[in-house]
A and B are shown apart, each in its own frame.
Chain A
Amino acid sequence: MPFQPVKYYQTGTFTVGNRLLPPETRSVQANMRRTNSLNSGHRACQGCGEALGARYAIDAAMEATNRQLVAANATGCLEVFSTPYPETSWQIPWIHSLFGNTAAVATGIAAAMKAKGKHETRVIAQGGDGGTTDIGFGCLSGMFERNDDVLYICYDNEAYMNTGVQRSSATPPAARTATTTTGNAFGQGKNVPLIAMAHGIPYVATATIAELHDLEAKVRRAMQFRGARYLHVFVSCPLGWGHASDQSVRMARLAKETGIFPVFEAEHGEVVSVSKIRKRLPVEEYLKPQRRFAHLFSPQKNLEAIARIQAMADRNIKRYRLTDA
């Protein structure tokens, strides 16, 4: 039988069937001995991007740290759906303190491990965009600035979903939320990956739930560094965005393929790699399936708003060199 090299994109995504790959390149999730750190049975919505992202990220971190992992979790969907006691989904030591202090709690855990000489035990902090870009931002920046030995993972679904879809500083322009009923304003928002890079921390990366091999690889890479690290994962939310629950991965892929969400890696403040767009698409392809953007298409098409969003995507593509052109 002739040798046929496996290309990740042969199924159109990076989530290629793992059985086609040699064992060492399969995903952590494909391994029977994966840790199921965020175990099944939790209360996340059908199609929850955050649950998918967290499951891959934490299991990859568990593998990378030889299961010596502690997690601090911000208040939010991930915290609420995983732990109405006594039914915790967490198979790792896990603490939830408050909404806005997760990075600092993680700093404390890391300090305790250092004081006790447990250098092999690593610490993750995780939260949604509200807990990261808004209320937890002071503690996050403090943790970065001190270069504390913590990997902070933000699962960004672009609004306060746990409280019923209100705007956050990660909500994109024009998106409709319960507190931006005519669409979020243009020209606002906070680019936390770039702000993280401005702190000069060892590692900053973005990822999406459409490219789970890439997400796992970035968690693994992050764990090769000591000091503050930041991973910003784009996770879709069927409830808050208004798309079918079987479209979550597709939404994340479209965000990347349109240039809406640039996927890259940075070390010590400099971008070192980007995930190229494989088939560039207009932003309309991404906006149209989501009810939060429905007002851009009906009753009349809002050409100006769509053009402005396209311009933002174009800027990303140029800035990060997301296409070879």
Chain B
Amino acid sequence: MLKQIEGSRAVAEAVALCRPEVICAYPISPQTHIVEALGELVAAGDIGRCEFINVESEFAAMSVAIGASAAGARAYTATASQGLLFMAEALFNAAGLGLPIVMTVANRAIGAPINIWNDHTDSMSQRDCGWIQLFAETNQEALDLHIQAFRLAEELSLPVMVCMDGFILTHAYERVDMPSQAQVDAFLPKFEPRQVLDPAEPVSIGAMVGPEAFTEVRYLAHAKQMQALSLIPAWASEFHYAFGRAAGGLVRPYALEDAQTVIVALGSVLGTVKDAVDEMRANGEKIGVLGISCFRPWPFEAVAHALGGAKRVVVLEKSLAVGVGGIVSTNVRTTLAPRPVPVYDVIAGLGGRPITKASLQKVFADAVRDELNLTTFLDLDAALVERVLENERQVRRSGPLPENVLKERHAVPAR
């Protein structure tokens, strides 16, 4: 059914169609509208038997989900930013215990300085915690990915994070096609847990494992994630067939046939990137786009295959590994290591900085001429940075750095 609704509402309704049994809610912008809508749906009796629990922290949210999932219930929660970091210990735990929890991450920057707007630093910081990470490009894909996520999680007994850009997607009203309950029921089988806390068949879950078996346990966690690399495309095809639209999969090639320059990106920015690329193509530039839908497990083969003809790659990413540069680009470089081509990092959109078509076309044009720095910060105000650094060189007690940057930005006169 076509609906004109907010991205958060679309995700909430899709989650409701997946018949969750336990939902844990703790508010953090920009995730709040998702859990608010779910609370409303549970209260209205639209989800059947479902417990909606207002917990006292994100750490508790994930922990309640752990208990519920271990007891055999389909468990869901949503978070963002600082909240994701606050549950970090429980994230590793849920993955290590093999509990198929599904969580939405409404991607947002991490402080300090505190910033509520979108980038990917939050989920990127948890890329190695053992969760599968799927990135949505549109609101339609965000809602579709949740339906796939529950099936994937439960088949592999692994937790899945569905990442959608905070505000840009969560707060955008767009047309979405909401599937019917029957469609979702046909796609998503009943949850049959591999392990369950059941008095009729007592098991101990979460026991200590020493050096004699820890490597094997960790290897299996890795091997199970890698199994997702075959399940995800298979189920994306099945989803396409059943629901009549493409969603998910490992990677999303766009105008790659003869592309010599390929832009790699994830999330909602792909729309702007494709617009920029379309115009450059119209001007005769052989340039294409590779969207990454599945970031964990990292789709080595699919990426290598899609970038097989590229002479250079530009990775546009909304996160920064301080002291290194890009995160996604590091994965791309590893993938392309046997066939070295330049891989340029473009760090963009941090803390909600708009990513404009004009700025993109400028860096892409530089890349085409191989005149781009290996790591570029899109639209960085280099003069401002230099003024702040000069002040630090002159004054020992130069004061808090973010405030100094703001002072320069807004040209507040010195006291």
On A, residues with C-beta under 8 Å from B are: 67-70, 72-73, 79-80, 83-85, 88, 90-98, 100-101, 104-117, 121, 138-139, 141-142, 145-146, 148
Contact = CB atoms under 8 A, between A and B. Distances in A.
A121 B71 CA distance: 11
B203 A115 contact: no
Contacts of B64: 104-105, 107-108, 111
A101 B206 CA distance: 13
Contacts of A83: 204, 207-208
Contacts, number: 159
A108 B53 CA distance: 9
Contacts of A106: 67
Given A88-B204, A115-B50, A139-B59, A101 B66 contact: yes
Interface of B: 21-22, 24, 49-51, 53-57, 59-60, 62-73, 75, 89-90, 93, 97, 197-199, 201-210
A-B residue pairs, 6 tightest by C-beta: A108-B67, A142-B56, A104-B63, A112-B71, A112-B73, A101-B63
Contacts of B70: 95, 105, 108-109
Given A98-B89, A142-B56, 20 more contacts: A94-B197, A94-B204, A95-B204, A104-B59, A104-B60, A104-B66, A104-B67, A107-B63, A109-B70, A109-B197, A111-B51, A111-B67, A112-B22, A112-B51, A115-B49, A116-B49, A138-B60, A142-B55, A142-B60, A146-B53
Contacts of B206: 73, 95-97
Contacts of A138: 56-57, 59-60
Contact of B22 (A88, A91, A111, A142): A111
B266 to A, nearest CB: 30
Contact of B68 (A85, A92, A112): A112
B202 A108 contact: no
Nearest to A91: B202
17 contacts: A73-B206, A85-B204, A92-B202, A93-B199, A96-B205, A96-B206, A100-B89, A104-B55, A104-B63, A104-B66, A110-B67, A116-B73, A138-B56, A138-B57, A139-B57, A142-B55, A145-B56
A68 B199 contact: yes
B63 A98 contact: yes
Contacts of B24: 108
A217 B62 CA distance: 34
Contacts of A113: 71
Nearest to A145: B56
B205 A95 contact: yes
A88 B49 contact: no
A238 B193 CA distance: 42
Contact of A97 (B50, B51, B67): B67
A231 to B, nearest CB: 19
A122 to B, nearest CB: 9
Contact of B67 (A72, A90, A94, A116): A72
A109 B198 contact: no
A116 B202 contact: no
Contacts of A141: 56
Secondary structure at the A interface, as helix, strand, loop or mixed, is: mixed
A98 B89 CA distance: 8
A120 to B, nearest CB: 9
B66 A93 contact: no
Contact of B198 (A93, A107, A114): A93
Contacts of B49: 115-117
A96 to B, nearest CB: 4
A111 B54 contact: no
Nearest to A96: B206
A107 B22 CA distance: 10
A124 to B, nearest CB: 12
Contact of A116 (B21, B69, B207): B21
A104 B63 CA distance: 5
Contacts of A146: 53-55
A97 B97 contact: yes
B204 A108 contact: no
Q: Which of A92, A108, A114, A115 has the most CB of B within 10 A?
A: A108
Given A101-B63, A104-B55, A114-B51, A121 B199 contact: yes
Contacts of A105: 63-64, 66-67, 70
Contacts of B97: 95, 97
A325 B333 CA distance: 80
A108 B99 CA distance: 13
A34 to B, nearest CB: 16
B377 to A, nearest CB: 37
Contact of A101 (B90, B198, B199, B201): B90
A114 B23 CA distance: 13
